Homo-oligomer: A and B are copies of this chain.
């Protein structure tokens, strides 16, 4: 037994479409005045009450957070998103997701065109090509809280959630050294991104601490995909002196390196050790399985969103910087001993 008339009842009483009634009730521009008048009159007459789902009353889910990600088709970022979503859903916030495709121009375009009036806060992981971050400062200056995570902007004073890239890279490199590898190359991300720089520094300091040579020709910068990893490995194998181990900035590049080494019939884990960073599920599937540093992606997503909600609810806040530790996971690709 319905206590109120529905939008369908109004439509059939007036012999017009449900869609027209809906538009009239929402007062959109494409319904003429007389139709709207008739709809409103009939709505009153029939004791129409807007359906609860039409106005988002039950959980008051009318708040919005924006999320800016460089990519979504990889394990790390989609897991981050899932962590964010867990917190947002429970707090009654919707998530508007923007994916830049690692394109700095698109990032600026998206941020400059955000409709800030409908946005309670913004979560950002910056594009790898970005060389300016003024567009984020503008968002903050307009009173919308911003939290950076993973790929953070160094120049903007706001809250940031990261994993411990330096120590993770340091530990991964030391692990290779302890397993008897002494000529360790690094296939890195693009230059100029904070987190890839931190991983590079961890790698360099581990070599220095163990008095191993730092050879610039064993450090290759490129993008983040498996294909980049394959290309980087090929480049390294053109060097006069070849390395005997690879520390890759992420698992996808490490897997690219593994595939390229397999094509060369090089025994991975024996002749050449490989370690990645992320703990993508594929690291356990590839053969030999890939040693790596597990990143707390889900946790980073959760924490970033919790921090953003805190900033939204408390006008005056001190930006916080949170760094979560990674975890070394040893598999076949690095266990020479």
A contact set with B: CB distance below 8 Å: 6-8, 17-23, 26, 30, 51-56, 58-59, 61-62, 64, 72-75, 78-79, 81-82, 85, 89, 94-99, 106, 109-118, 135, 138-144, 226, 255, 259, 281-282, 285-287, 315-316
Contact = CB atoms under 8 A, between A and B. Distances in A.
A53 B111 contact: yes
A16 to B, nearest CB: 11
B141 A8 contact: yes
Contact of A72 (B58, B81, B89, B115): B81
A281 B74 CA distance: 10
Given A56-B113, A226-B281, A138 B17 contact: no
Contact of A142 (B7, B61, B141, B255): B7
A53 B287 contact: no
Given A61-B113, A99-B82, A113-B61, A53 B139 contact: yes
A6 B141 CA distance: 9
B23 A115 contact: no
28 contacts: A6-B141, A18-B141, A18-B142, A20-B143, A20-B315, A23-B315, A26-B143, A51-B142, A52-B112, A53-B112, A53-B138, A54-B116, A56-B114, A62-B118, A64-B96, A72-B72, A73-B79, A74-B78, A78-B78, A81-B97, A85-B97, A85-B99, A96-B96, A96-B97, A97-B97, A259-B285, A285-B285, A286-B287
Given A78-B78, A281-B226, A287-B286, A58 B113 contact: yes
A115 B56 CA distance: 5
Contacts of A110: 89
Main secondary structure of the interface of A (DSSP, over half): helix
Task: State the copy count for this chain.
Answer: 2
Q: A53, A55, A111, A138 — which one has the most chain B CB atoms within 10 A of its CB?
A: A53
Given A117-B26, A142-B51, A73 B75 contact: yes
A19 B315 contact: yes
Contacts of A138: 51, 53
Given A61-B113, A226-B281, 20 more contacts: A6-B141, A7-B141, A8-B141, A18-B141, A18-B143, A19-B316, A26-B143, A30-B315, A51-B142, A53-B112, A54-B142, A55-B117, A56-B113, A56-B115, A56-B116, A62-B115, A81-B97, A94-B96, A94-B115, A282-B285
Nearest to A287: B287
Contact of A21 (B61, B72, B109, B143): B143
Contacts of A144: 22
A287 B333 CA distance: 14
A113 B53 CA distance: 5
A281 B52 CA distance: 43
